[in-house]
A = this chain, B = another copy of it.
Amino acid sequence: MPISTNSEGLGIASLAPLLAEVSKAFERQLASDLPPVNTLCRHVERYRGKMLRPTMVFLSGQAFGNVGERHVIIAATCEMIHMATLVHDDVLDEAEVRRKGSTVNHLRGNEVAVMLGDYLISNAFHLCSRAGDPALNLRLGEVTNTLCEGELVQLSHREDLSLDERTYFEIVRRKTAVLIGACCELGARLSGAPEDSVAALRRFGEGIGVAFQVQDDLLDLEGREDVVGKSLGRDLEKGKLTLPVIIHLARCTGVSRERTIAAIRARDGSALMAELTAGGALVDARHRAEAMVATARAELAQVPAGAARDALDAAALAIVHRDF
């Protein structure tokens, strides 16, 4: 099985037919008899980019055996959950651009975006139910509960300059990492992996999930909007403290601290970047992400050697080296 990372960095060439199945399942699930609903669904289908979550389901499955129809259902379900969070996150962030196109809220208003996100969540659960296994529904329901909790705790800490690293990582684990962890876990379990390997893959997925979010934090500060393809600077704008800022505030004092806090309060991205760069917090945040990826990769020792494991390893590395 020839495995290679393509220009997207996370896609795996030989996964193409499976990912095409995911796209088909996605479109089939969202086909409505109502034209206004279909128009909206066509719009969000172009948000599907990296397909990181389906890729994790399939690779984790392939590492232990064959992948089948239920992998496709779970992969499409997880991607749809992810898509729903993007639509609602864009409402929360007042973002205007996503995947180099207008966001639903920008194009059609917050009300439509709220309802479309609900429609995607509802369809994700409906699709998952088609696998006919209550344990899958229960597990994914638990995952989305945790995800929403992460978002709610994050909201409760907006503008909170005393947010510490422990709370930050707990928010990120819940809002981003548990879903990626579940993709790896369920992909492996559906292919009959032993439970200790399933648990190792869940930890692998959660680890790269946290690193993925830290990289997102960095891109929101340092990225170029035309490369990343979405609205940037939203974290500062919406009073969300990100890892570089938390690291910096935890150790800087005096005038530098005052300048940093003033930059945050004034939503002054350039001034904040100057402080973070001078204090070394950007480099340190990147090192944290790299260390997490290294820990996650070590979990792969519990996965049989082979092309699928190599691809999981490559995907983990790609996460902290992406610029989009």
Other-chain residue from B119, B131, B153 in contact with A145 (beta carbon distance below 8 A): B119
**How many residues on the A side are at the interface (Cβ–Cβ under 8 A)?**
45
Distance in angstroms from A87 CB to nearest chain B CB is 10
Other-chain residue from B32, B40, B137, B152 in contact with A134 (beta carbon distance below 8 A): B137
- Within A118-163, the residues touching B (CB, 8 Å) are 118-119, 121-123, 125-134, 137-138, 141-142, 144-145, 147-149, 151-153, 155-156
On whether the beta carbons of A133 and B130 are closer than 8 Å, the reply is: no
Distance in angstroms from A81 CB to nearest chain B CB is 9
Dominant secondary structure of chain A at its interface with chain B: helix
On whether the beta carbons of A122 and B145 are closer than 8 Å, the reply is: yes
How far does the alpha carbon of A110 sit from the alpha carbon of B127 in the complex, in Å?
A: 28
Distance in angstroms from A70 CB to nearest chain B CB is 12
On whether the beta carbons of B153 and A137 are closer than 8 Å, the reply is: no
Distance in angstroms from A76 CB to nearest chain B CB is 14
When distances are taken between beta carbons in the complex, the residues of chain B under 8 Å from A92 are 111, 114-115
On whether the beta carbons of B152 and A36 are closer than 8 Å, the reply is: yes
Distance in angstroms from A143 CB to nearest chain B CB is 9
On whether the beta carbons of B115 and A152 are closer than 8 Å, the reply is: yes
On whether the beta carbons of B110 and A88 are closer than 8 Å, the reply is: no
- A264 proximal to B (CB < 8 A): no
Distance in angstroms from A126 CB to nearest chain B CB is 3
- A218 proximal to B (CB < 8 A): no
Give a binary string over A239-258; 1 marks a CB under 8 Å from any B CB, 0 the rest: 00000000000000000000
Knowing that A34-B152, A128-B137 touch, tell me 7 more A-B residue pairs with CB under 8 angstroms.
Answer: A117-B118, A118-B121, A118-B151, A122-B147, A123-B145, A125-B125, A126-B137
